[in-house]
Amino acid sequence: MRKEQPSQPVSSESDQPPRESLMETASLPPPKEKEIARKPRGTRRQHAVRAGVAVMAGRTAGAISRRLHLGGGTSIVGVVAQRVYPDIVEHLATELEHGSVMVTGTNGKTTTSSFIAAILRDDGLRVWRNREGSNLVGGVASSLVIRAQPNGHLRRAGQAISILEVDEAALPKLVSSIPPRVLVFTNLFRDQLDRYGEVDSVVSKWQQAIALLPATTTLVLNADDPTIAQLGDGFPGRCLYYGIETTLETGEDEAEANHHQVMDARVCSRCGHEYEYDLHFYSHMGHYHCPQCGKQRPQPDVRVTNVQVDTFDRIRLQIEAGNQKREIIVPLPGLYNIYNALAASTASLALDTPWEPIISGIEQSKPVFGRGERIQADGKTMRLLLAKNPTGFNEVLRTLFSDGTARHLLFILNDNIADGQDISWIWDVDFERAVGQTQTLVISGTRALDLALRLKYAGINENAMTIVPPTRLKAMKNTPTTRSRRLKKNRGINEGQQQSEGIDERLYGIKNALDSALQQTPTGETLFVVPTYTGLLEVHRELEQRGFTPHYWEGRDA
């Protein structure tokens, strides 16, 4: 970020000569000079005029959306602006003095982006993110348009860098418009099969995106994920790998922890033989090698050499890069956040960021939207832990139950488009881990009954579950039993008598599910809410209406 020197290409194969250590490798120049500045003056003026019109149209659409209470008026800003001027993203992005960092992957994008943003702010940069919009192309466009002026130029573009969380499928289109200085890949797990397909389909899209990158882009790759590590094969630019070099002391029996893991990368991409593991962390993450062709995990440039879990919200890491060692405190729960902190540290070092802001940025970070977020509600603490695929849910369960503490829980399973409409993946989740570990358990969402059935098969007594479906069950609306309830109620039978006879009408909807879960959680204790994505939005919306938390799009970057 401070000096611009060429770097040497790096191969991802373990049998190649050793790469230069990270601390000896010079930082790379921004991937793309300001092309708009090189265009003829008349052309620049024409582009600025079109961009200005697009900015005003997008902002007007956003204002109307907010006025009509149709949402935060964020994503629509970018959608409308792109309709007016399709090249608005490329036009505005090239004005950022320090370019862009992109973060993609199945899990960990939001937290990793948040860590990088905190680090670079501590290093004195103005950081812009797309947290107020989606991680699709329209959301990225919104993040730029809301920071643009009516004259078609970004405000305060000097000393600015954008940290963009990017959807897996949207990556090829975005890198063609915004060639990033650094592109971070977190991991790849099976997720939303009806939208993404199998993991091979996602890998193909990512390889297409990497083929569009200039050699000045740095790839930051997870060495412990074989699918991610192979993305560096043949890339002419710089590849930096990160990984964990030590066993993880979780207090669990290793065989018990891994007996229900989902393996999404079992075979070698070169010869098709099944990988063997010398060290296994979770899912297919670990130290792997192919006994047939010799392909193996690349040696990480940035690595964790020691892990100590102090408390639920405090993990102490020893990180090494080159010949330097530092200790970093990760203030978030879950072993998966070790990888998020490691990815953020590697991306920051790729930008030539000093260690001091890396340490302070991560240690002072707070949980982001639904990723360990803490909310106070009526004398109780709520922790929101998003779980949207088998591996993510398994790691949330590991985080909750690895110390043997019984928890108060609210599970929400939805099958809306943003969640993925195929929910068969719940049968790959290790819900058996929760048996005997729940003090109270409320189940809700559009597929609450499916989840309750899965939990029953896991061994959880149905009498220990409170099931709150999204709407009144049709079978209950016009049955003779339901009609008799109404007659008895009209004849003056009180609520207590109805309960004693087992004829209470069932609660339904997220509001009642949240009320039920909170009522069952004693004052001073913690309710853990584990929702899929749209379930998280519903819970957050309800908490916003009750005044417990601000709107998730508020508090934008300047």
User: Is 108 a residue whose pLDDT tops 70?
Assistant: yes
Q: What is the DSSP string of 349-405?
A: HHTT--HHHHHHHHHT----TTEEEEEEETTEEEEEE---SHHHHHHHHHHHHTT--
Q: How far apart are CA 371 and CA 540, in angstroms?
A: 12
Q: Which residue has the tokens 């008349």?
A: 42
Quick one: what percent of the chain has pLDDT higher than 90? 58
CB 242 within 8 Å of CB 108: no
Residue 255 neighbours by CB under 8 Å, 6+ apart: none
Q: Which residue has the tokens 């004005």?
A: 95
Q: What angle do CA 227, 229, 231 make, to 5 degrees?
A: 80
Q: How far apart are CA 184 and CA 206, in angstroms?
A: 12
Q: How far apart are CA 54 and CA 80, in angstroms?
A: 7
pLDDT score recorded for residue 73: 56
Q: Which residue has the tokens 């091979």?
A: 200
> What is the number of H-type helices and E-type strands within the chain?
20, 17
CB 489 within 8 Å of CB 498: yes
User: Residue 3 burial (CB < 10 Å; 0-12/13-18/19+)?
Assistant: exposed
CB 182 within 8 Å of CB 217: yes
Tens-digit pLDDT profile for residues 317-366? 999 999 999 999 999 998 899 999 999 999 999 999 999 999 999 999 98
pLDDT score recorded for residue 552: 57
Half-sphere exposure of 526 (CA within 13 A, CB side): 15
pLDDT score recorded for residue 19: 42
User: Is 255 a residue whose pLDDT tops 70?
Assistant: no
Q: How far apart are CA 524 and CA 380, in angstroms?
A: 5
Compute the CA torsion angle 437, 438, 444, 446 (nearest 10 deg): 10
pLDDT score recorded for residue 249: 63
CB 163 within 8 Å of CB 103: yes
Among 264-273, 474-483, 497-506, 536-545, whose mean pLDDT is lowest? Answer: 497-506
* Residue count (the chain): 558
The structure's pTM equals: 0.83
Residue 266 neighbours by CB under 8 Å, 6+ apart: 274, 275, 284
